[in-house]
Structure 1
């Protein structure tokens, strides 16, 4: 349509022939004649059906995926057009993304005609090293062979757009602390401001405007790293729109389809690696540079990490007569001497520590779920001294994963007369040897098995022999020159007689 006025002007005003116009505009003469007779804007027929040349063989597969995703609960579990395009590429599709996008859009419009209302926002600009945004999301993953909802902590540096995500079984306060430790270690520094929703683990009370009362323990974290905590206005997610957008993208990029991992450590290692890979994509604002390029410039401007925050949540608990403390529906053992007493419990993302008199008296790896019994058999050794029969059916000892030689010796000794007390004596000696005690007991049991005579006394003798200090070697007098006596002392008994003859007046 743009060339029509020019063609008509050249022909009717300047007298250019049809042949010359065809050569000048690289068009056929019939087309030139048609344009000369055109006065109104031409109307072209609209194509009612879009042909799918390369997509045609995959339409059935794509439709099945869309129908499968449509019945999934929640928007986060549904694949976007971009994700479906990537899945089709795995299946062998070599066409473009636009064809997939048009098909997905038409399919969704055919199912729903509800209009969407869009909002307008103001573009924001953040200085390097100043602001980081935080948020939680709930994703579906298979961890340890079981599908479950994992809580994912999201961090995003507002200047470089560098992201970091880490997953946990729950989003309690100790998980918030650990997530910050992990994120700051990943970034290699601390931003000056952290922006949050009004999380219960962060904000205790919301007042008028921006005034908040932050949680005291959370303020300890902020004071440790020296960042300024900022809480958004309620129901105003656009105040931290970058991380809100990241939540949706991560759900699409990393959790669709559902990933599978053996444990949370493997999941988080994979998430950290994917964050590094995604940083190689073009920056949203500076398309000629990657997110990693801007992060390399921003990282030196972050505040340095002088020490890692000990992110525990502390409570006071009473130890039961079974030497156990109930923590989050699971029971953990404490040394027997603290039974029926109150101790302090410090809960972190991965550990449970019991503290009394300023000293850590017990430490366990944290277990998630319910009704787990986590016992350290050494905690119950003082009880065995008085009740050795508990060795046979006591839960800490039945589930104790001992080395094979110790198990064989234990089973043989328990069949002997007073075998309970005899094996308890072996455990007592192993405890007295400290960290190397169990290894020493294992070697002693192995040596005893080689003799063919099984007895607690023989095992004890082997343990003493293994742990006794080396005696100094005897001095070889033949190889050493000894001093010789030149003047021999003379015996004088008269001095003794003189003393007897003296009289002492009292």
Structure 2
């Protein structure tokens, strides 16, 4: 393709020196068609592809990518494929030999995402972690259900902990923290939160908060500090926000099919461990290597974990049944029509009479009738 300097030379030969098109063609070797074009325009020449180039590598998987994107239209918005996830699945499931940039370029042609900008922050080892809930859909016994994802990330090392619950109630919040601390083997000095109702009873002036008593008990047991973001300022905990997004895209796309949350959480635990091989942004070390420094500066675990439950007074009826959240559970007949106390854990119930454990109900779902078929009951006499 001729450059602008070539156009300039041709035009001067013809218009300034008075040479004919034939003479210019003979002296320069350019065709008459090219010379006529140079004489009729002063626009900067731009190459135009007359025929699309073949793309055999991406063409072999185009139908697969289109089908995944079509399925995404029915999936939750935050559990849809990214170009990176599409590339990973193509490699894992179809032995794709092309590059990630090839897939990215093709997906970008199908949908354009606005660029994102952020200011990176630096955090000292062991001092901070961030927490947030996420919500995803899974296939449980072949049925699509919604579960809540407990996400905690250490801000220095980027170490992650992820676990699912059926709900975001206070007992799940507390149990998630206990499990996260046990997984880390230590406790961050300060954890950053939204103003979630299970932790904050009332937002006071400035950064002051009146916290829920059970949440205060959690802090007193593990001796960490809590920092609550300003209302509608979720960007103040951007690392865990990115974690929630990554978990939805990498761990829950496509939707995992499991027989229980225990099975799913065991699988997520392995994902958290394998994440240690990821390189820390703007660094040459991995998450696992950085966490060694992180852990050295964290608080030690207490001698025993906190027992996480809510206390609810209940009363059994004449049929020896206790009703909790629209479900009835049996207690020993000797405790019919009695005033009892129910300890509500994240997944289980424990029923007491005058401080004595009289019944336990395991694998309790917190979604009422939606999961009623999952409920199993075991009685302790």
TM-score with structure 1 setting the length: 0.62
Higher relative contact order, chain-length normalized (CA < 8 Å, sep 6+): 2
Partners of 1:72 and 1:78 within 8 A in 2: no
CA distance in 2, matches of 1:378, 1:204: 36
Query: How far apart are 1:303 and its partner, in Å?
Result: 1.2
**Aligned pair partner of 1:219 in 206, 216, 236:** 216
Aligned to 1:250: 247
Query: How far apart are 1:355 and its partner, in Å?
Result: 1.9
Q: How does 1:302-381 map to 2 (within 5 A)?
A: 302-306=298-302, 307-368=304-365, 369-370=368-369
CA RMSD of aligned residues (A): 2.4
Q: How does 1:138-177 map to 2 (within 5 A)?
A: 138-177=135-174
Q: Secondary structure at the match of 2:134?
A: strand
Partners of 2:135 and 2:147 within 8 A in 1: yes
Aligned to 2:61: 58
Structure with the largest fraction of strand: 2
Once the two structures are superposed, residues 188-216 of structure 1 have per-residue CA deviations (whole angstroms, 9 ceiling, x without a partner) of 01111111111111111123321211111
Query: How far apart are 1:351 and its partner, in Å?
Result: 2.2
Partners of 1:52 and 1:99 within 8 A in 2: no
Partners of 1:150 and 1:168 within 8 A in 2: yes
Aligned to 2:3: none
- Flag the structure with larger Rg: 1
Partners of 1:349 and 1:366 within 8 A in 2: no
Aligned to 1:85: 87
Partners of 1:331 and 1:374 within 8 A in 2: no
Aligned to 1:240: 237
Query: How far apart are 1:73 and its partner, in Å?
Result: 4.6
**Aligned pair partner of 1:193 in 186, 190, 195:** 190
Query: How far apart are 1:356 and its partner, in Å?
Result: 2.4
Unaligned residue ranges in structure 1 (runs of 5+): 1-29, 31-39, 110-114, 380-506
Kindly indicate whether residue 205 of structure 2 is the aligned counterpart of residue 208 of structure 1: yes
Partners of 1:144 and 1:262 within 8 A in 2: yes
Structure with the largest fraction of helix: 1
CA distance in 2, matches of 1:329, 1:300: 47
Unaligned residue ranges in structure 2 (runs of 5+): 1-28, 30-41
Kindly indicate whether residue 288 of structure 2 is the aligned counterpart of residue 292 of structure 1: yes
CA distance in 1, matches of 2:71, 2:377: 45
Once the two structures are superposed, residues 290-325 of structure 1 have per-residue CA deviations (whole angstroms, 9 ceiling, x without a partner) of 111101221222211121011001111111111111
Query: How far apart are 1:327 and its partner, in Å?
Result: 1.4
Q: Secondary structure at the match of 1:55?
A: helix
Once the two structures are superposed, residues 46-102 of structure 1 have per-residue CA deviations (whole angstroms, 9 ceiling, x without a partner) of 558565232121122222222232x22532121000111112222132010111111
Partners of 2:362 and 2:377 within 8 A in 1: no
CA distance in 1, matches of 2:49, 2:111: 20
Partners of 2:360 and 2:378 within 8 A in 1: no
CA distance in 1, matches of 2:352, 2:300: 31
Once the two structures are superposed, residues 169-203 of structure 1 have per-residue CA deviations (whole angstroms, 9 ceiling, x without a partner) of 11111111111111001100111111111111111
- Decide whether aligned partners of structure 1 residues 185 and 323 sit closer, same or farther in structure 2, where only a CA change above 3 A counts: same
Query: How far apart are 1:230 and its partner, in Å?
Result: 1.2
TM-score with structure 2 setting the length: 0.81
Q: Secondary structure at the match of 1:209?
A: coil
Query: How far apart are 1:116 and its partner, in Å?
Result: 4.5
- Decide whether aligned partners of structure 1 residues 243 and 100 sit closer, same or farther in structure 2, where only a CA change above 3 A counts: same
Count residues in correspondence: 333
